[in-house]
Amino acid sequence: MVPERQFRTPLFDAMVSLAEAKKVSFHTPGHKSGKGISTRFRKFVGRKIFTIDLTTLDEVDCLQKPVGVIKEAQELAAEAHGADRSFFLVNGTTVGNHAMILSTVLPGDEVLVARNAHKSILAGIILSGATPRFFLPRFDADLGIAVNVGVEAARSAMRDHPRARVVAVTSPNYYGIAADMPGVAAAAREHDRILLVDEAHGPHLHFHPALPPSAVDAGADLTVQSTHKIVGGMTQASMLHLREGRVDGARVAAVLQMLQSTSPSYILMASLDLARMQMATEGRKLLGKAIALAEEARHRIDGIDGVRCLGAGQVEAWGGFRLDVTKLTVSVKGIGLTGYAASALLNTEFGIQVEMADLYNVLIIVSIGDRRDDLDRLVAGLEGLARRAPGRDARVAEICAVPPVQETELACPPRQAYFAPHASVPLAQAAGRVSADIVTIYPPGIPILVPGETVSRTAVEYLQSLGARGARIDGLRDPSGGSHDTVQTGVAEPHIRVLAR
Ligand SMILES: Cc1ncc(COP(=O)(O)O)c(C=O)c1O
């Protein structure tokens, strides 16, 4: 039974009441309920949205120190997700990841990090001055992706690094592949470690029994979710959930005060209030529909010659992993295309925009916003792509898609490397030097190099070969293009920031 109070939306209601009261405003934002906004903007989106673009006022509370409707909205979110305390975030899971690290480690502390971490976890480590001790996820060479971390890998990392009090994992990953979170949480408890989970891709898990268990339910101490990625939050709207016991909630609140804007967007926060209400009251029904649509599409995609879609059976056969079936990882290797090329063709030829592409796959997110027609278009697009594919391109299969990431010791802690005197050298000549930047293929944003890591020849070759095939690489520089640090196909000789000798 859904508690009656979960139908409430205290923050949104207060915003609407305030807007309807039509008080005269001598405060920010300067557009004054849209009266001063550009006409073109207002013509496109209408007037109403601007009347709830508010600022911190008594009626609508203050995110930095909530005592009224934001406090109530956060309490409802905690109850809905099974957490002890929840915090609204207005800079995505990125700021939540920074906050998780900064509220649990001190400069010089060791922190165990699964190597499939998003770059925002690494950024948190740079900010904190902690030293990461990496452990590796399982990789699948056929799909060319990091599967996720196994419980045994996590457990042995905890045994090998008794000084690391904090363990950070990402689950589910971008492809919806979840680690055995109850198993990882049990291992963390046994070894008395604080468990931080980047659950950017899992804000819906708690609300449907056919999905993998959520990190909060599994017992994680801190969990961050991108409400905007999968359910009804607006872009940048995320949540951080806390389980009391091993983490100091007051410290988390203080760190968030330091990291978050003093002018948070009320529209983003209202979307969190409403998304929580929607999931709590009708999430199971809405997600049930999304799951059914995704499973049907998966079946139809598997029927296309040369195209394959990752299914729950395959993931479970790896042992200890679960699949969020609303994600469709479609391998196009068999029709001779890279995921990058398939993504571009789906976009330009068929009007289909996918979430992400990697070397072998395109990733489709099916959500509560999709309808059968949308999935019909996807299947028709993939059929069209398979018919018009250039035939088998040996080069697609011949390159190694598995990121050459390692568990090896860093030459120095990431913070030290990030701020040390550095030089910019051509990537081709970087092997043996120490990276000063986070270098990722984006998306999915898993660091191929972290600051303080010695650049290996395999890493150079991997970045070169993926760059040449259309991957977007963050953290390299175009020497002719000034300060750009995102490099895509076409940059003849990207540079990398390394420590000066
Ligand atoms: C695993 C993971 N963590 C964190 C993030 C950052 O989340 P956000 O975009 O909400 O800041 C992403 C973004 O893609 C992600 O994939």
Q: Ligand 1 pocket test: which of 98, 196, 198, 226 has the largest number of ligand atoms within 8 Å of its C-beta?
A: 226
Q: Which residues lie closer than 8 Å to 362 by C-beta, 6 or more apart?
A: 329, 330, 332, 339, 342, 343, 346, 354, 356
Q: Which residues contact 494 (CB under 8 A, 6 or more apart)?
A: 426, 427, 467, 473, 476, 477, 478, 479, 487
Same domain, 274 and 288: no
Last residue of a domain, which of 352, 371, 398? 398
Structural contact between residues 493 and 460, judged by C-beta atoms closer than 8 angstroms: no
- Asked whether residue 342 falls in the same domain as residue 437, the answer is no
Let me know whether 151 and 174 are in one domain: yes
Percent of the chain past pLDDT 70, that is, above it, reads 95
- 80 pLDDT higher than 90: yes
Atom of ligand 1 nearest to the CA of 170: 1
Ligand 1 neighbourhood includes 495 CB (under 6 angstroms)? no
Question: Between 119-128 and 92-102, two packed helices, what is the crossing angle to 10 degrees?
Answer: 40
Assigned domain for 406 exists: no
**pLDDT per position as a tens digit, 259-285:** 999 999 999 999 999 999 999 999 999
Looking at residue 225, its amino acid is: Q
In a domain, 128, yes or no: yes
Q: Which atom of ligand 1 is nearest to the CA of 117?
A: 1
One domain, residues 328 and 421: no
Q: Are residues 241 and 306 in the same domain?
A: no
Does residue 396 have a pLDDT over 70?
Answer: no
Examine the domain organization and report whether 151 and 179 are in the same domain. Answer: yes
Whether residue 409 is contained in a domain is answered as no
Flag whether 321 is in a domain: yes
Residue bearing the CA closest to ligand 1, atom 9: 92
Beta carbons of 156 and 427 less than 8 angstroms apart = no
Q: What is the pLDDT of residues 458-481, one digit of tens each?
A: 999 999 988 888 888 999 998 876
pLDDT for 407 equals: 74
Task: Give the model's pLDDT for residue 401.
Answer: 66
Q: How far is the CA of 241 from the centre of ligand 1 (A)?
A: 16
Give residue 107's pLDDT.
97
Assign residue 461 the CATH number of its domain: 3.90.100.10
Distance 379 CA to ligand 1 centre (A): 27
Percent of the chain with pLDDT over 90: 88
CA distance 190 to 166: 13
Domain contains 392? yes
Reduced to 3 states (helix: H, G, I; strand: E, B; else coil), residue 446 is: strand
CA distance 124 to 117: 11
Can you tell me the distance from the alpha carbon of 29 to that of 33, in angstroms, rounded to the nearest whole number?
8
Q: What is the pLDDT of residue 479?
A: 84
User: Which of 280, 315, 346 finishes a domain?
Assistant: 280
Band (pLDDT 50/70/90 cuts) for residue 487 is low
329 lines ligand 1 (CB under 6 A): no
Q: Which residue has the higher pLDDT, 290 or 486?
A: 290
Radius of gyration of the chain (CA): 23
Q: Whose CA is nearest to atom 7 of ligand 1?
A: 93
Q: Which atom of ligand 1 is nearest to the CA of 174?
A: 16
Give the pLDDT score at 455.
96
Residue 258 has pLDDT above 90, yes or no: yes
The finding on whether 243 has its CB within 6 A of some atom of ligand 1 is no
Please identify, by atom number, the ligand 1 atom nearest to the C-alpha of residue 95: 11
pLDDT of 159 higher than 60 = yes
Same-domain check for residues 303 and 156: no
Pocket test for ligand 1, best of 95, 118, 474 (most atoms within 8 A of CB): 118
**Chain length of the chain:** 501
Asked whether the beta carbons of 451 and 126 are under 8 A apart, the reply is: yes
CA distance 496 to 475: 7
Residue 405 belongs to a domain: no
Cβ–ligand 1 distance for 120 under 6 Å, the answer: yes
Taking the centre of ligand 1 as the mean of its atom positions, its distance from the CA of residue 355, in whole angstroms, is 13
Q: How many CA atoms lie within 13 A of 174 on its CB side?
A: 20
One domain for residues 64 and 172: yes
β 222-225/495-499 pair status: unpaired
Ligand 1 nearest atom to the CA of residue 226, by list position: 10
pLDDT of residue 486: 59
User: Are 273 and 370 contained in the same domain?
Assistant: no
Instruction: Please give the C-alpha separations between residue 151 and each of 148, 185, 310, 446, in angstroms, as whole numbers.
Output: 10, 9, 22, 20
Q: Among residues 366, 398, 430, which one ends one of the domains?
A: 398
Q: Is 277 exposed, middle or buried (0-12, 13-18, 19+ CB in 10 A)?
A: buried
Q: Which of 358, 317, 401, 316 is nearest to 174 (CA)?
A: 358
> Residue 343 maps to which CATH number?
3.90.1150.10
> How far is ligand 1, taken at its centre, from the CA of residue 42, in Å?
30
Query: Per-residue pLDDT tens for 301-313?
Result: 999 999 999 999 9
- Say yes or no: 246 and 152 in one domain: yes
| Cis before 444 (ω within 30) | yes
State yes or no: pLDDT of 491 exceeds 70. Answer: no
Total number of domains in the chain: 3
Query: pLDDT tens, 126-157?
Result: 999 999 999 999 999 899 899 999 999 999 99
Give me the domain span that covers residue 197: 4-280
Indicate the pLDDT class of residue 485, thresholds 50, 70 and 90. Answer: low
pLDDT at 490: 56
Statement: residue 394 has pLDDT above 60: no
Q: What rounded mean pLDDT belongs to the chain? A: 94
Q: pLDDT tens, 351-381?
A: 999 999 999 999 999 999 999 999 999 999 9
Read off the pLDDT of each residue in 5-19 and give the average, rounded to a whole number: 98
pLDDT band of 286, cuts 50, 70, 90: very high
Q: Look at strands 222-225 and 194-198 and give their pairing.
A: parallel
Å from CA of 21 to ligand 1 middle: 38
Cβ atoms < 10 Å from Cβ of 319: 11
Query: What pLDDT is recorded for position 395?
Result: 56
The best mutation among 88, 89, 91, 94 to test binding of ligand 1, ranked by most ligand atoms within 8 Å of the C-beta, falls on 94
Q: Are residues 113 and 23 in the same domain?
A: yes
Instruction: Identify the three-state secondary structure at position 470.
Output: coil
What's the whole-model pTM score? 0.96
List pLDDT tens digits, range 49-76: 999 999 999 999 999 999 999 999 999 9
Assess whether 115 and 158 both reside in one domain: yes
* 3-state secondary structure labels for all residues of 97-157: HHHHHHCCCCCCCEEEEECCCCHHHHHHHHHHCCEEEEECCEEECCCCEEEECCHHHHHHH
